Amino acid sequence: MDYLWRPETKNTVVHMLPFETLIVIDKMLSRPAYMQVVDGVIKLIKDGVIQKGDQMPGTRSMAGMAKIHRKTVIAAYSELIAQGWLVAVAKHGHYIARELPKGGIKQWGVPANGYVSGSKLKSTFLKIETTKEFHPHSFALNPSLIIDDGHPDSRLAPMHLLNREYLRRLKQQHVSKKPAITLAPGSLKLRETMTSYLAQTRGIQADLPNILITHGAQMSIYIAASLLLQRGSYIIVGEPGYHVANYVFEYLGANIIRIPADRDGIDDELIRDACEKYTISALYLIPHHHYPTTVTLSPERRSSILNIAEQYDFSIIEDDYDYGFQYDSSPYLPLASIHPDRVIYVGSFSKSLSTSIRIGFMVAASDFIEQAIYLRKIIELKGDNIMEDSLAALIESGDLGRHLKKVNKIFGHRRDYLCASLDEKLKDVVSFAKPEGGLALWTIFNNEYPLKNISLKASKMGLFINDGQIFDNFNARYNALRFGFASINETEIDNITGIIVRCL
């Protein structure tokens, strides 16, 4: 087994651990000192403090740290080797065995009983149900192909232009001298730029007091929901819906009312019915490209929902995460352009450029934004104002607009290519409706082809594919996924659909 620890193999050396407090010899015990060391090391391994393959300190170093005689350490290491916990490698030292004795190690984390491994401290303060998944399961540790749920292709993003602007501002010494309090709403430059940008692209007339820059759209959703909801409040969402937003509402203690979404979007008459039965605090709505189905809310239902919100006096959180991608027709203007005092508008630049650019925004009435800024400062005092200023430069120069125009052509072609590929190779397996815009295709698999099985088989062929379970809830099973087409080219689409065919 020595070959597992060749000199070129990278292993963690655990000599930085405070062994003087981790292994304490009690001279009052009848158990020999070397066996107390053995017991202590085994416990550290089982608790996950020391991992498989880690290099142990040398006998002299361990003796010094644990304040015991070196012969005691030598005897302890010999016993650990005999039991199978350690392996001695000539000229290199002692290592935790890769194959441990029966009864091995615990996984570090918070298990179902509420106790942290290696501790008797019960986490009575935890509120979060950590079994829920924010992202689909991946069985492939390092897949060569990925079906995401609708991301832009970062290979096409003008990152060199953004980096140029970032480095230019990073060299300016005065940028670091701005007080944090002035940056809490976001950089002044970006907010100023957005007043004209929102008007030109979305028809939203907003001034500086109406705009808050956030660390991604998810932060905007959390802040808005925190201000609108209390424990026991009622919020309406679409079904199927955006599971991560639903997690926020559940965490805040709200009651979620799920309203089905059909090909015209969320059902307005069922919203009205819910308002007759419950006092609604908010409606979470994705009217442009509903998540996950990508359908667009019809003009008739838009008008109806705004009237219902006015009649029953609730707010609308409008999530417009991918407004910039429309292929077959011009997009409808956001609800916030029609009724800005009733709507909290949430957007993001992550889809416009790259998911690594975590800049989102919220547009709402000035008094609401004032409260949102206060809450944002509790979470995070300020964002990356240098990156925000750099993004403002791309918007002002027209570089962002030109990029979106270019990738809309590319992404529209990829959407068409994927639809054609699915029709050709998987016609009897999947069903879908070609979306007018967005970055993904809502793809429903026939029940005789469970996505969970396909996902497992595909992972062995180097493909990550969502198993679909994140879209299910207690009374709905869709056997469907969002097939992101924007981030994959034609060759990758051919390879992916070919793998799916082989997994059937």
CATH number at residue 31: 1.10.10.10
Same domain, yes or no: 212 and 310: yes
CATH code for position 457: 3.90.1150.10
pTM: predicted TM-score of the whole model, two decimal places:
0.73
- Give the pLDDT confidence score for residue 182 in this predicted structure: 59
Report how far residue 236's alpha carbon sits from residue 122's, in angstroms, rounded to the nearest whole number: 35
Query: Looking at the structure, do residues 359 and 497 belong to the same domain, yes or no?
Result: no
Same domain, 363 and 408: no
Q: Is residue 262 part of a domain?
A: yes
Same domain, 352 and 460: no
Range of the domain at 454: 145-151+402-503
Distance CA 24, CA 37 (A): 8
Residue 67 lies in a domain: yes
Tell me, yes or no, whether 259 and 343 share the same domain: yes
**Pair 197, 315 in one domain:** yes
CA 171, CA 62: separation in Å to the nearest integer?
Answer: 47
> Rounded to 5 degrees, what angle do the CA atoms 205, 294, 430 make?
170
Provide the number of structural domains found in the chain.
3
Statement to judge: residues 220 and 342 lie in one domain: yes
Tokens in use for 203? 């028809």
* Cis omega (within 30 of 0) for bond into 334: no
Splitting the chain (504 residues) into consecutive groups of 10 residues, what average pLDDT does each group show? Answer: 40 64 80 88 83 86 86 90 87 85 50 37 46 52 85 90 87 60 82 93 92 93 95 95 94 94 95 96 95 94 96 96 87 90 92 83 94 91 86 93 94 97 95 94 96 93 92 86 96 96 94
| Whether residues 374 and 494 fall in one domain | no
In which element (H, E) is residue 44 found? helix 33-46
State the pLDDT at residue 22: 78
- On the 0-12 / 13-18 / 19+ scale of CB atoms within 10 A, 14 is middle
The two structure tokens encoding residue 225: 């929901």
pLDDT for the residue 132 = 56
CA 425 – CA 443 distance, rounded (Å):
14
Residues 320 and 419 grouped into a single domain: no
Return d(Cα 121, Cα 338) in angstroms, integer. 53
491 Cβ contact partners less than 8 Å away, ≥ 6 residues apart: none
Q: Are residues 377 and 473 in the same domain?
A: no
pLDDT at residue 313 in the model? 95
Given 350, 367, 396, the domain boundary residue is 396
- 359 with 197: CB under 8 angstroms? no
Is residue 159 in some structural domain?
A: no
Is 374 within the bounds of a domain?
yes
Classify residue 482: in a domain, yes or no: yes
Q: Is residue 385 part of a domain?
A: yes
Residue 219 within any structural domain of the chain? yes
Query: Largest Cα–Cα distance in the chain?
Result: 84
Domain boundary among 372, 396, 420: 396
What's the token pair of residue 279? 């006092």
How far, in Å, CA of 213 to CA of 282, rounded? 22
Angle of CA points 246, 237, 239, to nearest 5°: 95
Residue that is last in its domain, among 396, 414, 438: 396
* Both tokens assigned to 39: 């017991």
Residues 90 and 190 in one domain: no
Nearest CA-CA partner of 131 in 157, 109, 153, 104: 109
At 166, give phi and psi (nearest 5°): -65, -50
Structural domain contains residue 138: no
* Residue 357 and residue 439 share a domain: no
Summary count for the chain: helices (H), strands (E): 16, 15
Q: And the tokens for 99?
A: 């194959």
Contacts of 34 (CB under 8 A, 6+ apart): 72, 73, 75, 76, 79
